């Protein structure tokens, strides 16, 4: 994207977040939904396909551009970004990275125009480790029959398309023999369960999805190749980790703003609590985390785009920033005291919302394993 064009997009996103979404955060929290008028504005701005290729109606944003937008998305409720996040991230990138030309031509313009894609990998016994995946796709003439279930699938109740990972090989365990399919949500045999009741991130819907002998044509096999699903999933997840890290930085910046304003205005003993050194120390710790996280994310994005590092950097950024924002939220609640524990306070909501960042798209423990393994690999071990 040209620099001037990207600046215009970034400025427009900032205005949308600050002027349209932030004032309605309580409404989103209470209704567990994004207002339809905000959704329409996001579609009109191209946010449902901002990372998708321009030739298919997207904006073609690089990861470096993506994370700058994610800093803005992270400033408000995570539900806003979640509305279009899977299109631009883990689901949409499966099509971009591995889809056939026909699959891309059919689906990418639709996603850019506001259709919703969901990434259906996680199962009851296959979360951080996909080797336990049990959903199967059985060849039946010129079609496949898919059976199994998926858990915690983001945007499942809204999805037009499920990007489904299933076993096509003989293996019952391990990462071999996993393939990926494009499954339309209205096909017979596809059932979406009720919305999950989560601790936080209201308005960002997840649910279980069931596939009962769902027949899809052979052309629904992504890339036309069996057994490539695990590698395709990992490629999408690696990019997504840098994006999640950027969301964490954006949320931490909001937490810092709220905490500074509260410390400057709220009084105890006739003095603003911000005059107390222990409160200043907590603010300083949040600021330091934000500063470090932003620098780390931008560096990881640059290295991803150039191809210099697509292994350690994304995991390090996701690990640090997801842990950092959780700590920032905890400190913010402490700064706010009793008010920080009250529903309706921004930092209380952030405290609940932030916790999920350390779990999805690879837990903190998985990121540590990835980093350590690749460090030793680099040492020739």
* Residues classed as catalytic: 361
Residues 6+ apart with CB under 8 A from 230: 130, 175, 176, 178
Categorise residue 270: left if φ over 0, alpha if ψ from -120 to 50, beta otherwise: left
Query: Nearest-CA neighbor of 252 among 292, 298, 281?
Result: 292
Q: Which helix (H) or strand (E) holds 212?
A: strand 206-217
Strand partners, 164: 120, 181
Contacts of 77 by beta carbon, 8 Å cutoff, 6+ apart: 21, 25, 28, 29, 201, 202, 203, 349, 353
Let me know: does 61 contact 69? Beta carbons within 8 Å: yes
Distances in Å between the alpha carbon of 123 and those of 96, 149, 361? 24, 7, 13
- DSSP string spanning 74-113? TTS-HHHHHHHHHHHTTTHHHHHHH--HHHHHHHHHHHHT
């Amino acid at each position: 994207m040209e620099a001037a064009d990207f600046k215009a997009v970034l400025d427009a996103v900032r205005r949308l977040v600050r002027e349209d979404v932030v004032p309605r955060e309580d409404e989103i929290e209470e209704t567990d939904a994004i207002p339809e008028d905000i959704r329409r504005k996001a579609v009109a701005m191209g946010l449902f396909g901002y990372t998708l290729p321009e030739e298919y109606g997207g904006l073609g944003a690089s990861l470096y551009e993506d994370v700058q937008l994610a800093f803005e998305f992270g400033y408000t409720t995570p539900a806003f970004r979640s509305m279009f996040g899977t299109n631009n991230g883990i689901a949409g990138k499966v099509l971009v990275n591995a889809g056939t030309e026909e699959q891309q031509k059919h689906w990418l313009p639709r996603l850019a125009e506001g259709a919703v894609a969901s990434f259906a990998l996680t199962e009851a016994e296959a979360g951080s480790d996909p080797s336990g995946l049990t959903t199967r796709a059985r060849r039946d003439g010129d079609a496949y029959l898919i059976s199994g279930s998926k858990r915690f699938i983001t945007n499942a109740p809204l999805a037009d398309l499920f990007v489904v990972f299933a076993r096509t090989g003989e293996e019952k365990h391990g990462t071999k023999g996993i393939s990926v399919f494009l499954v339309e949500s209205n096909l017979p045999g596809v059932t979406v369960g009720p919305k999950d009741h989560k601790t936080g991130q209201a308005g960002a819907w997840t649910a279980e999805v069931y596939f009962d002998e769902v027949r899809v044509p052979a052309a629904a096999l992504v890339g036309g190749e069996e057994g490539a699903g695990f590698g395709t999933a990992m490629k999408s997840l690696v990019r997504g980790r840098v994006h999640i890290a950027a969301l964490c930085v954006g949320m931490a910046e909001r937490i810092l703003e709220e905490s500074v304003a509260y410390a400057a205005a709220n009084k105890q003993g006739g003095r603003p609590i911000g005059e107390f050194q222990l409160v200043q120390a907590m603010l300083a710790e949040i600021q330091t985390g934000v500063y470090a996280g932003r620098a780390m994310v931008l560096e990881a994005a640059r290295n991803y785009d150039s191809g210099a590092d697509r292994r350690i950097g994304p995991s390090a950024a996701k690990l640090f920033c997801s842990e950092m924002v959780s700590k920032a939220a905890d400190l913010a609640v402490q700064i706010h005291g009793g008010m920080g524990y009250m529903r309706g306070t921004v930092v209380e909501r952030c405290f609940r919302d932030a916790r999920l960042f350390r779990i999805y798209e690879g837990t903190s423990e998985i990121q540590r394993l990835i980093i350590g393994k690749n460090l030793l690999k680099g040492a020739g071990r």
